[in-house]
Amino acid sequence: MRRLSILTGAAILALTGCATPLSIQRPADACAPTAQFDFVCGANKPEDLAHIPDTPWIVASGFATGAGLKLVDSRTRQARFWFTAVADQVAPDPAYPDCVKPPDPALFTARGLSLRMTGPGQGRLLVVNHGGREAIEVFAIDARDSAAPPTLRWQGCLAMPDGHVANAVASYGDGTVLATVLTRPGTSITDFVVGRTTGGVYQRGPQDRAFRLLPGTELPGNNGLETARDDSGFYVIAFGLREVVAYGRHNTRQPLWRALAPEFMPDNIHWDGERLLLAGMVRDEPACGGVRKIVNGVADGMLCHRGYAVAQLDPENRHFSLIAYGPPDPAFNGVSAAVLLGEDLWLGSYQADRIAVRRLPKNGMN
């Protein structure tokens, strides 16, 4: 089996629609494979990834000014700019009234992604945007034509509260949107690294005019976010604690349960089948002098290349299963998201200028 249960955290270290999309061209040697990975070039800071079900297509965010959204063909491993704001990509919907105009492609800074399918080949893509405004951008996705790339149309946005920067986004089937804030005004990354409460989960229903903080969801560094399969609640990552924290939908004042990730720092979290898929950097990296440090009162930026781990979490028994791990790679750091497509593991990063791909063995974990 390619998924092997993690018995202890030490196990990781011991084994250590656009009609005319613009293709991204890079010199072949600028994205040469390493011992661990092949790469998809030009996907600047692909902080989050989403696979469009029953297709070969992957959506990648771009956590840098103008990096926007990329559409990746998993067969050719080529990326293209997807949203360019041409006329047939803009179709405002009064359900999302906060923005008159679509994001400016020159400013579009996409972070967290959430794709919910609404019908065969059709879905709603929510995108955290920092470029020009702090908002959740809403796109309609159409992948019904298997002979052509999927299309997308911007429908509107949901503005974040003043001074609040969203990190991840998710939704329920009725259109209710959830968003995490890593550091609320007056708090810092250093605060959550030392375990102080900094963030929260915010909710906006279809009839609401603004997001509101869900009481009891304030955690040290609210990061990745996903809703339960049956819409009964949600799962949020407390980055400063390396925990997945589960909440019920109708009473968030106390968590339902917590699960500590073994020896890695999970970032984004999404469904893969009936388990939750998490990816992140190794907590205690010898090549970086161990755990994340506070230097002169400020948390280090983790630019030193750390190893990574990808694991699944069964929400029924809160058991982690390791899918893949690896040592620091000279060309790829800041692992923040993962997608499984066949035997290939696709990794996103909030630091790198590319997407990493590695083949998983059919028998056994690596």
- pLDDT band for 361, please (50, 70, 90 cuts): confident
Q: Calculate mean pLDDT across residues 115-143.
A: 98
Please give the C-alpha separations between residue 8 and each of 106, 111, 349, in angstroms, as whole numbers.
46, 31, 25
Give the C-alpha separation, 322 to 5, whole Å: 6
Give the C-alpha separation, 239 to 176, whole Å: 24
The model's pLDDT over 245-278, given as tens digits with 9 standing for 90+, comes to 999 999 999 999 999 999 999 999 999 999 999 9
The model's pLDDT over 331-348, given as tens digits with 9 standing for 90+, comes to 999 999 999 999 999 999
Kindly give, in sequence order, each residue whose CB lies less than 8 Å from that of residue 316, ignoring residues fewer than 6 positions away.
Answer: none
Does the pLDDT at position 70 exceed 50?
A: yes
Q: What percent of the chain has pLDDT over 70?
A: 91
Does the pLDDT at position 18 exceed 70?
A: no
Give the C-alpha separation, 169 to 253, whole Å: 20
The token pair that represents 265 in the structure block = 């720092």
- pLDDT band for 69, please (50, 70, 90 cuts): very high
Tell me, yes or no, if the pTM score tops 0.75. yes
- pLDDT band for 14, please (50, 70, 90 cuts): very low
The pLDDT of residue 352: 97
CB atoms within 10 A of CB 30: 11
Mean pLDDT score of the chain, rounded to an integer?
92
Kindly give, in sequence order, each residue whose CB lies less than 8 Å from that of residue 300, ignoring residues fewer than 6 positions away.
Answer: 292, 293, 294
Does the pLDDT at position 4 exceed 50?
A: no
Count of all residues that appear for the chain in the document: 366
CB atoms within 10 A of CB 45: 23
Q: Is 121 helix (H, G, I), strand (E, B) or coil?
A: coil
Give the C-alpha separation, 30 to 32, whole Å: 6
Does the pLDDT at position 351 exceed 70?
A: yes
Domains of the chain with bracketed CATH: 4-16+34-359 (2.120.10.30)
- pLDDT band for 365, please (50, 70, 90 cuts): low
- pLDDT band for 12, please (50, 70, 90 cuts): very low
The token pair that represents 118 in the structure block = 């609404």
Q: Calculate mean pLDDT across residues 123-145.
A: 98
- pLDDT band for 300, please (50, 70, 90 cuts): very high
Does the pLDDT at position 5 exceed 80?
A: no
Give the C-alpha separation, 56 to 42, whole Å: 19
Does the pLDDT at position 10 exceed 70?
A: no
Please give the C-alpha separations between residue 337 and each of 204, 236, 341, 351, 357, in angstroms, as whole numbers.
25, 14, 13, 12, 12
Q: What percent of the chain has pLDDT over 90?
A: 89
Backbone φ/ψ region at 102: left (φ over 0), alpha (ψ -120 to 50), beta: beta
- pLDDT band for 362, please (50, 70, 90 cuts): confident
